[in-house]
Amino acid sequence: MEYYVVVLLVYLGTDLLAAWGLNLEFGVSGIANLAFIVTIAAGAYAYAICTLGPPAAMGNFQQYVGGFTLPFPVAVAAGTLTGAVVGVLIGITGLKRLRPDYQAVAMLVVSLMAATIVSADTGFLNGNAGLGLIPAPFSDQDPEFQRWAYVAIVAVCCIAGYLVLRRFTDGPIGRTLRAMRDDEYAAAAIGKDIVAMRLMVQAVGGAFGGLSGALLVAFIGGWSPGAWNYIETLALLTAVIVGGMGNNRGVTIGTFLIAILILQGVQFLPQSINTIRIGLREDLGWIVLGVLTIVFIWTRPQGVVAEKRPRYGGSP
């Protein structure tokens, strides 16, 4: 039971970091990044190949590039940085002045393409089987201490992440980004560099994704293309839409609702459902998630907690 609480806290923390990153891109800046999960995957793989030893040292049971045996903080930093770089690469797809729905589909395709290439190429990141035995920090300590110390690390990352996030979603940068979302031409007309803003948002959002992936993989110890299916982006997107686009507090509530109450909650459905067929409870989770997204876009597009209209000095 205590272990389950630790699992939930770590999942909540990493999901929060990811949802905040996606909200910065999608909610605040209007970039419908359906390839967001790729930045999480990039962070996780970067952490893995930084902390693992060379493949030959482990009897070559899995194939990957790198294997640098670096300490935990360096590997997490590398994961964050890789996430940012991948975020910018994804963002380049969205630079062309296309209809926003076209951009969303282009990014969806990027997500599928990345998963196909990583699965097909076994020499790069061990293909479809994925990487295992990824080292965790404090592994030489008492297991209970190790678990709670890890929760503390995730919590510190979340608090630090939130403070950084507010520099981008509030204040002058946030106002510029919201202007870009609401009317790109008007924002460009008053001298805002749209391309630079978009790439910056992709870099910061990607860094959040990379950090989330690195922290997650250090905890679960394994990572494979099955873990970053394009549907996972949809779960984060549902959290953003249900919570309230463009609004950090709303997204925090949304993440709690989606990642914890629904995706973990289905585990508590009666065991009898799974006797019909194994995995049916998880399938129901995805069905609920998809329906929730549609219902919210239909009835309450602003989410549970609506974005505050900015107020500027003086009465109108």
Q: What is the DSSP string of 107-128?
A: HHHHHHHHHHHHHH-HHHH-GG
Closest separation in Å from C-beta 187 to another protein = 13
Q: Is there binding between residue 298 and another protein (CB under 8 A)?
A: yes
Q: Is there binding between residue 184 and another protein (CB under 8 A)?
A: yes
Q: Pick the closest to residue 205 from 12, 26, 41, 15 (CA basis).
A: 26
Stretch binding another protein (CB under 8 A), from 159-167, 204-212, 290-298, 307-315: 290-298
| Cβ 165 vs Cβ 248: under 8 Å | yes
- d(CA 297, CA 316) in angstroms, rounded, equals 31
User: What are the angstrom distances between the C-alpha of 194 and each of 131, 174, 187, 211, 296?
Assistant: 38, 13, 8, 26, 29
Per CB under 8 A, contacts with another protein among 51-110 are 93, 96-106, 108-110
Q: Is there binding between residue 2 and another protein (CB under 8 A)?
A: no
Closer residue to another protein (CB): 24 or 70: 24
Q: Which two tokens mark 134?
A: 């990824």
Closest separation in Å from C-beta 28 to another protein = 14
> Contact with another protein (CB under 8 A): which of 287, 300, 308, 310?
287
Per CB under 8 A, contacts with another protein among 247-286 are 277, 279-280, 283-284, 286
Q: Which two tokens mark 86?
A: 């991948």
Closest separation in Å from C-beta 106 to another protein = 5
Helix axes 36-51, 230-243, angle to 10 degrees: 120
- d(CA 210, CA 40) in angstroms, rounded, equals 5
Is the Cα dihedral 250, 200, 43, 164 positive or negative? negative
| Cβ 52 vs Cβ 64: under 8 Å | yes
Closest separation in Å from C-beta 265 to another protein = 16
> Contact with another protein (CB under 8 A): which of 34, 42, 180, 257?
34
Size of the site for another protein (CB under 8 A): 45
Closest separation in Å from C-beta 285 to another protein = 9
Closest separation in Å from C-beta 272 to another protein = 15
Q: Which residues bind another protein (CB under 8 A)?
A: 30, 32, 34, 93, 96-106, 108-110, 112-113, 116-117, 119-120, 184, 231, 234, 237-238, 241, 277, 279-280, 283-284, 286-287, 289-291, 293-294, 297-298, 301
